Amino acid sequence: MEDDFKHLVRISRKDVNGNKTIEQALTEIKGVGISLSKTMCRTLDLDLDAKIGYIADEDVLRIEEILENPQKFDIPRWMLNRREDYETGDDIHLIESDLDMTLRDDLNRMKKTRSYKGRRHEVGLPVRGQRTKSTFRKSSSVGVKRSRG
């Protein structure tokens, strides 16, 4: 049994630690959270507590296939991280570098169209309506005068 153990398992362009459970190891992949990991394991009938270093290569291929197209395996729509994509309108799930590139493209599109969120991203202010009177002070405080003496 020890001969079958792999210390590093390559899943979708990411090396995951073979000593972790399948449930925890899948969360090392950027774009896969704990609930998606559990759902994938249950869909593929994998033991959640088994170490990922012991799984067969066929199971790794099945995991990669479910990461490529989760809708084919009846993963709920609300678990996908890119619902109604801006360009295609489809529900997709992105992982690793695809997720980073898409986020960067979205931010650049908002900045280019000069939307409210884009302008807030440009100047480094909070985007989602937080108060800024006392928080988000990274550099010198604006509007606060210190007494000299």
Q: What is the pLDDT of residues 67-91, one digit of tens each?
A: 988 889 988 989 898 888 888 888 8
Residue 135 within any structural domain of the chain: no
CA 56 to chain centre: 25
Which 3 state secondary structure label does DSSP give 11? strand
- Residues 17 and 74 both lie in one domain: yes
Domain boundary among 79, 108, 141: 79
pTM: 0.74
Q: State how far the alpha carbon of 83 is from the alpha carbons of 33, 67, 99, in Å.
A: 16, 15, 13
- Residues 51 and 113 both lie in one domain: no
- In the chain, which stretches have pLDDT less than 70? 1-3, 138-146, 149
- Residues 60 and 98 both lie in one domain: no
Residue 26 within any structural domain of the chain: yes
- Residues 73 and 106 both lie in one domain: no
- Residues 98 and 48 both lie in one domain: no
- The domain that contains 72 carries what CATH number? 1.10.8.50
Beta strands in the chain (DSSP E): 8-11, 14-17
Residue 55 within any structural domain of the chain: yes
Residue 32 within any structural domain of the chain: yes
For 101-112, the three-class secondary structure string (H helix, E strand, C coil) is: HHHHHHHHHHHH
The pLDDT, as a whole number, for residue 3 is 63
Q: For residues 118 and 12, what is the distance between their CA atoms, to the nearest angstrom?
A: 31
Residue 139 within any structural domain of the chain: no
**Chain mean pLDDT for the chain:** 87
Residue 19 within any structural domain of the chain: yes
HSE value, Cβ hemisphere, 13 Å, CA-based, for 7: 0
- Residues 69 and 107 both lie in one domain: no
Residue 41 within any structural domain of the chain: yes
- Residues 26 and 71 both lie in one domain: yes
Domain with 43, as residue range(s), is 8-79
- DSSP code at position 98: H
- DSSP code at position 8: E
Residues of the chain with pLDDT > 90, as a percent, come to 36
Encoded tokens for 49: 């507590």
Q: State how far the alpha carbon of 101 is from the alpha carbons of 29, 56, 79, 104, 105, in Å.
A: 16, 31, 20, 5, 6
The pLDDT, as a whole number, for residue 142 is 57
Question: What's the domain count of the chain?
Answer: 2
The pLDDT, as a whole number, for residue 145 is 65
The pLDDT, as a whole number, for residue 109 is 94
Residue 129 within any structural domain of the chain: no
Residues of the chain with pLDDT > 70, as a percent, come to 91
The pLDDT, as a whole number, for residue 113 is 95
